[in-house]
Each structure stands twice: as C-alpha cells, then as structure tokens.
A and B are shown apart, each in its own frame.
Chain A
Amino acid sequence: MKPSRIAWFFASLLVACGFVMLWQYLSDARLVSPVFLPGPDRAWAALVRGITQGELGARWLGTIERMIYGWLLASFAGIVIGAFIGSSERARAYVGPMLELIRPLPASAVVPLAISLLGLSEAMVLTVIGFGALWPMLLSTVHGFAAVEPRLYEVSRALGLPQWKVILKIALPSSMPDIVAGMRLALTVSLILTVIGEMLASREGLGSHILISARSFRSADLFAGVILLGVTGYVSAMALTLAESRLLRWRESH
C-alpha cells in the first residue's frame, strides 16, 4: 500500500469515528427516542454482553453456518447444472429462455411455497437459501461456459479429449471469472435469505434475534444483531475478494 493511501484510510477512519460520536451525541441529547436509537455505547455493551453471557455468539454461528451451507449447496448445484447447460448449444436453446423468465422472480417469493411444503423447519430455510442463491450461480456459469473461446473447443476435439475432460480442463478454468462473480452474488443472496428464513421459521440465529429484540423493544440488542450482520456481510465479501485474487492470479499474465 502506498503511504498516501494509508493516510487517506486513516483520515476516513477519523471521519467514521466522527459519525459514531455524532450518533452518541444524538442519543445522549435524546434528539431521537432511545426506544428507536440506542447510543453506540449501549449497542456495544449489548453486543459484548450477548456474546460473553448470552446466546448471541451461538446465534451468530447458526446464521453463518446456514449461510455457508446454503451457499455451498447452491454453488455446487449451480456449477454442475450450469456446466451442463452452458457447454451445449442445444441445451441453452431449450432451457435458456426459461431461466431468463424465472430470473427476475424475487427468491423470497418462494418462501410461502417452501413453508407449506416443508413446514417451519431447518430444511425449509436451507431450501430457500439454496434455491435463491442457485440463480446467480447458474446464470453466471452458463454465461461463462457460453463465452469460452470456440477455438479451444476445436483444439480439444482435434486432441480427441472426452467431454468431461473438456469441461474440467478447458471450459471450467476459462469460465472461472464468471463463476467467481456468480459465487460472490450468491453469497450476498444467501445471507439475505438466511436472515429471512430465520425470521419466519424462528430458527436460532441472528434473523430471529433481531426480530424478537424489535418486538420486545430492546433496541440495543437489535442494533447489536444488525452490527453482527454487517460484519458478516463485510467479512464474507472480503474473503471472496481474497480468494478471487488468488484463484484468478493466472489471468494477470495476459
């Protein structure tokens, strides 16, 4: 990192601290009712208390676990199905329009159907996460496979490679940027659907935590949960950025 960049970072960190102090002032001066807006001190205290003495840590883990399971499920299914559809022109012609048709459907809209099929269960939550996160995965994999340089396919045919080897050695690596982009979007979707699923099915997690806190007017606990959700979103996006730059390092040589 260049020195000027570090200086800017600290300057903007100072600005952020200023905002937190403003928040503290707003709540101390009771300009906003403490029922709605706890000060950062109270939110922080609720966060620390919840993790050290309460169940907040366990709930957080529950949320992360669901998010990752659903995301892995969707990524795996999305890549396999997407590879099948994307590598065959005929499959694309048959299935593509249907995918485009379903794509704008909000994933949360299938929640009522999932509830009536599976009840308010853990399986329902995972199904919803997996289904919702499947679309970005599937579409970006199909797109990646469809955009593979056609001459690479000709080369593989000339070499007499079997179909599965073509997918594994040629199509998959060259559509990796699209796949990773899809996985990034799918992770965001997973977190959102995890929270919704937990809220509706009252599973042990941050989603139910923030909803119950809001219903019983414990705003400090509510904000503690929201902060943890923000941290989860931030860390997971960062982790994927890191993974992306490692996975796609070979592209820099171009």
Chain B
Amino acid sequence: MSGFATYDARGVVIPVGLIVLAEVAARVSGLQSDSLAAPSDVVVAGVEALLDGSMLIATYQTLGSALIGLSIGFGIGLALGVLLGMFRVLDHLLEVTIEAIRPIPSVALIPISLLVFGFGYRMEIAVVAFATLWPALILSRAAIAGVEPRLFEVARALQFGLLARIVKIVIPAALPRVFVALRLGIGISLIVGVTVEISANVIGVGHETMLAGQSLRPALMLAYLVWIGILGWGVNAAMLLAQKHLFGPAANMEARL
C-alpha cells in the first residue's frame, strides 16, 4: 500500500529501462509489425487520439457506464447489506439464494444482457451493476455486523426507531468500511466495464483497443492499453487518497483482499 507514499528512485529504474530497451530494439531492428510498436510511436498515437477527441469520448463512455452501473449495483448491494446485517433472520433465510447466485462469473451475464438490451450503455451498465452488487453486499453486511453491540443497547435505551437506528448509529459506525467497499467497487466497475467492451460491446476504451488491434494499428492499440492502465491506476490512487483523508486509520480495519 505504501507503493507511492514513499518515493524510491529505485522503482523507476526497471520501467524506464524496459521502455528505453524497447525503443532501441524497435529502432535498430527497423520494426515493421502488426502487433508491436516502438514506445515513441505509441506516445504519438496516444497524443493524436487524445487531441482528436476520440480517446476522450471513449473514456467518457467507459467511465459513464461504469459509474452508473456502480451506483445501481452498489446502491442495491448496500441496501441489502444493511438489511441483512441488521436482521440476522433475513440473512440466514437468504443464505442459499445468495450463495447460489454469487458465484456466477459476471462475464457470464454479458450474453444475457446483450440479448435483453442489445449493444450500448444499458447492457454494460447491467453487467457492471451485477458485478458490483456482491462486494457491496458482503462488505456492508460485515461492516454492520461489526458495529459495537453496545451502541445498539444505547439505541434501545434512547428508544430509537428503526430509521433513527440506521441513520444515527449504523451508518456512521459502518461508514469507513463501507467506503472501503466503495473503493473496491469502483475498481471492479472499471475492470468489468472494460471487459464488457473488449468481449462484446461497441462503445468505450475497451472497444477502441479491440478495434485498433483488428485494424492493424499496434501503436494506437498499445496507446489505449496504456491509457486504460493510467485510468485504472488514477482511479485507484484517487480513492486511496480520499480514504486516507476522509477516514484516516478507521478504514484500515479492512481485511486485505
């Protein structure tokens, strides 16, 4: 986790070395390939795609469907998680149902979603929602179950109703861990969104990568690959930073995934 908090120049050596090596190798061999490109060509292709707007449109499509899917999936998962965490009877009763649906890999839903919605935003949103529902449910349920039981005794003593109990006790106590779930969920939504675009959908950065590969433009394809990496890293780093500032050590109770 301290990967970028403590800056160590030694970590730069290998990536930079590899890039320089690739550049030199490509120049010396006079690389003419349908699948690889020199790093400088990749940069040029990436900047061109950024400037003509195509990369930004694709990014907007990917992030948009990932975020909408996340809001739906995380919302449902959170609501279910709070419910199941507070009412253990319900949790016990739904155990088999949940354990039967949860192991279905989210990509298996791509064809179903394609059948129902056709190509476009909605099919991607549906798959992302399904994928992000589970971590939200599991982690928020665990967060609620981990709330100090004495707080509920206090709530009983104060004669809180259900709503007051949720708003005044459960949510504040579980919030740091729910935020951890949100952080993981954002990562998952981006991964699943790109995966849907790679394997079926016709929008977004995943599709553009696929298209560049199929039209034998390796520099553009690799530029998109790097761009997807930057997006993933940026989102992850931003969420880690937000978590640190918002909750400090309170969020560190997480079991490392």
Contact = CB atoms under 8 A, between A and B. Distances in A.
Contact of A233 (B94, B103, B112): B103
Which A-B residue pairs are the 5 nearest by beta carbons?
A97-B11, A233-B103, A214-B111, A104-B232, A100-B3
Contact of B209 (A8, A112, A215): A112
Contact of A196 (B14, B34, B199): B199
21 contacts: A8-B95, A93-B8, A96-B11, A98-B11, A98-B15, A104-B232, A106-B195, A107-B191, A109-B228, A112-B198, A112-B213, A112-B225, A116-B218, A195-B107, A199-B200, A226-B111, A229-B104, A229-B105, A230-B105, A233-B104, A234-B100
Contacts of B222: 113
A36 B99 contact: no
Given A109-B228, A206-B108, A222-B112, 12 more contacts: A15-B93, A94-B11, A101-B233, A104-B187, A108-B194, A112-B214, A116-B35, A117-B36, A229-B108, A230-B101, A233-B104, A234-B103
A237 B103 CA distance: 8
B92 interface: yes
A19 interface: yes
Contacts of B34: 116
B225 A93 contact: no
Given A109-B229, A185-B257, A226 B112 contact: yes
B164 interface: no
A225 B112 CA distance: 11
A94 B96 contact: no
B107 A11 contact: no
B104 A94 contact: no
Interface of A: 8-9, 11-13, 15-16, 19, 35-36, 90, 93-98, 100-113, 115-117, 143, 185, 188, 191-192, 195-196, 199-200, 206-207, 210-211, 213-215, 217, 219, 222-223, 225-226, 229-234, 237
B61 interface: no
Contacts of A13: 96
Contacts of A35: 115
Given A112-B213, A211-B111, A230-B108, A106 B194 contact: yes
Contacts of A103: 236
A97 B4 contact: yes
